[in-house]
Amino acid sequence: MPERNHHLAVHLLGGMAEIAAADWDACAGSGNPFVSHAFLAALERSGSANAATGWLPRHLVVKDRDGKVLACAPLYLKTHSYGEYVFDWGWAEAYTRAGGRYYPKLQCAVPFTPVTGPRLLVRPGAPDGLEAGLAGALVDVARAMEVSSLHVTFPTEAQARTLEAAGFLPRLGYQYHWENAGYARFDDFLAALSSRRRKQIRKEREAVAAQGLSISTLVGEDVKARHWDAFHRFYESVVDRKWGSAYLTREFFDRLSASAVGKDVVLVWVEEAGRPLAAAFNMLGGGTLYGRTWGAGREVPFLHFEACYYRALDFAIAHGLKRVEAGAQGEHKVNRGYQPVATHSAHWIADPALARAVERAVTAERRQVAAHMAEQAEAGPFRRCP
C-alpha cells in the first residue's frame, strides 16, 4: 500500500455478493460496463464464473480504517486457462514437464471478455499511489496463496505500465477496432475506402439484403426473454462447432438484462419469415460499442459480416460513438475497416527460472506482434492520399 500506510487494509472477497454495488462501482467508474458490479455479479450468480467452472472469485478490496472502499480488483483463482484470450498453455505445459505445478493460478480479469479496460479500480480522491499499491497487493496475495503465477489481462496501457513497474512481465497482443472519423452515414465511411474494398462491402450487404431477412437492432429493455432464448441456442451451436464448451449460461443473459447495465445491451436481431435466424450480442459503454459474440440457426453468406460488423458500424455512426471493438482474432476484419490495435497483459511468475523463460518469450513475441500490426495497417482498406 502507498507509503506503507497501515491505515489501509486488504481484504479478499468470495464473490460480488460480499460488496455493495455502490462501493465497487465508486472505484470501477461508469465508462466500462464489464468491470461494473452488475456485470461481474451476473456472471457469478448465473453459474458462469464460479468454483464449478474453474473461476473461483477472490476479489481484492482495499479499505481505510473507517471501512470505506478505496480500491478493488476483479480477481479469480483459476484451475485452467480457458476463457482468458491471452494464451499461456505453452507456459503451463513447459512448467509441468519441468516438474512444477502451474495450476491453480490467479487471474485479474473479466471472465470470458477480451475487452481492454481498467483492472486496478481506484476510487477518485483516494490517496496518491494507491494504483501502484494495488498492483503490489496483488503480488502479495499471490505469494501468500503460493500460486505459480498471477496474470492481469486486457488492462489499459497506462495500467500495464504500472504493473510492469511492480515487477510484472509485459505482454503485447492486438485486436481489431473501428474508429469513427466523424462519419454522418455509412456511405461516408465507404467513401474513405479503396474502390476495391468499397465494392466488396456493398456486394456483401446487397447479398444479405437479397435474402429477404428482417434485421433490427434492439437496445436495453427491447431485448426480451424470447430473444435471449433464441440467442443462447445460436450461441451454443456456434460454440459447439468451434470450441466445444459454452462459457455463458442462459441465466446470465436474464440477469444481465435485469441488472444496472441491462440498458447497455445492444442485440442485432435477424428473423426469416417471422422466425429467429441469428443474433449478435454487443455492449455499449464509454462511447464504444463492444461486439461480444453471435450465433445463427443456419449459415447465410455474409450474414455474419452484416450482423456483427456492418450493423455495428451503422449503430455507432447513428449514435455518434467513437469506436467499435470487434473482439479477438479475425484478420478478415481489416478489409472491412477494422484496424489492428495493441492490447496488453501483465504476468507475475513466482518461479525465477520460469519467469526468465517467459520473459524471453514475451520479448520476442512483442517484436513479432508489432511487426505484424504494422504490416496489417499498411495493407488496410483505406484510400491512400496521392
- Same domain for 117 and 188, yes or no, is no
Q: What is the structure's pLDDT at 332?
A: 84
- Provide the number of structural domains found in the chain: 2
Same domain as 185, residue 155: no
User: Closest Cα to residue 372, out of 85, 84, 176, 87?
Assistant: 176
Task: Work out the burial of residue 41: count CB atoms within 10 Å of its CB; fewer than 13 is exposed, 13-18 middle, 19 or more buried.
Answer: buried
Ramachandran sector of residue 212 (left: φ over 0; alpha: ψ -120 to 50; beta: rest): left
Residues 166, 224 within the same domain = no
User: What is the DSSP code string of 322-368?
Assistant: SEEE--S--GGGGGGT-EEEEEEEEEEESSHHHHHHHHHHHHHHHHH
Residue 381: the pLDDT is: 85
* 317 and 189 both lie in a single domain: yes
Q: 78 lies in a domain? A: yes
- Domain assignment present for residue 308? The answer is yes
- Tell me the CA distances in angstroms from 221 to 269, 295, 363, one per residue in order: 14, 21, 46
Q: Do residues 116 and 215 both lie within one domain?
A: no
**Residues 349 and 148: beta-carbon distance below 8 Å:** yes
Q: Is the dihedral of CA 324, 113, 32, 374 positive or negative?
A: negative
CA 111 to chain CA centroid, Å, is: 8
Q: Where are the alpha helices (DSSP H) in the chain?
A: 21-28, 37-45, 89-97, 130-145, 157-165, 186-191, 195-209, 225-242, 250-258, 303-305, 311-318, 352-378
Task: For residue 235, count CB atoms less than 10 angstroms from its CB and return exposed for 0-12, middle for 13-18, buried for 19 or more.
Answer: buried
pTM: 0.95
Residues paired with 173 in a beta bridge:
343
Q: Which amino acid does the sequence have at 381?
A: P
Q: Using CA atoms, how far apart are residues 142 and 144, in angstroms rounded to an integer?
A: 5
- Residue 119 in any domain: the answer is yes
Asked if 59 and 136 sit in the same domain, the reply is yes
Q: Among the three residues 321, 352, 368, which one is the final residue of a domain in this structure?
A: 321
Residue 54 resides in a domain: yes
* 109 and 66 assigned to the same domain: yes
Residue by residue, pLDDT tens for the chain (386 residues) are: 544 455 899 999 999 999 999 999 999 999 999 999 999 999 999 999 999 999 999 999 999 999 999 999 999 999 999 999 999 999 999 999 999 999 999 999 999 999 999 999 999 999 999 999 999 999 999 999 999 999 999 999 999 999 999 999 999 999 999 999 999 999 999 999 999 999 999 999 999 999 999 999 999 999 999 999 999 999 988 765 555 578 999 999 999 999 999 999 999 999 999 999 999 999 999 999 999 999 999 999 999 999 999 999 999 999 999 999 987 677 788 889 999 999 999 999 999 999 999 999 999 999 999 999 898 888 788 876 55
**Does 356 lie in the same domain as 287?**
no
Nearest residue to 139 (alpha-carbon basis) of 118, 116, 117, 120: 120
Which residues lie below 8 Å from residue 51, measured CB to CB, with a gap of 6+?
A: none
- CA-to-CA distance for 59 and 12, rounded, in angstroms? 5
Dump strand ranges (E) for 29-134: 55-57, 59-63, 69-73, 75-78, 105-108, 121-122
Alpha-carbon gap, residue 75 to 55, rounded angstroms = 9
Residues 77 and 168 both lie in one domain: yes
The CATH code of the domain that includes 231 is: 3.40.630.30
In a domain, 329, yes or no: no
Both 205 and 317 in one domain: the answer is yes
73 and 200, same domain (yes or no): no
For residue 190, is it within any domain? yes
Q: What is the DSSP letter of 34?
A: G
Q: Which residues on adjacent β-strands are paired with residue 172?
A: 344
Residue type (1 letter), 190: L
* Statement to judge: residues 153 and 8 lie in one domain: yes
- 253 within some domain: yes
Residue listed under C-alpha cell 506503507: 4
My answer on whether omega of the bond before 104 falls inside 30° of 0, hence cis, is yes
- The domain containing residue 171 runs over which residues? 2-175+341-378
For residue 255, tell me if it sits in a domain: yes
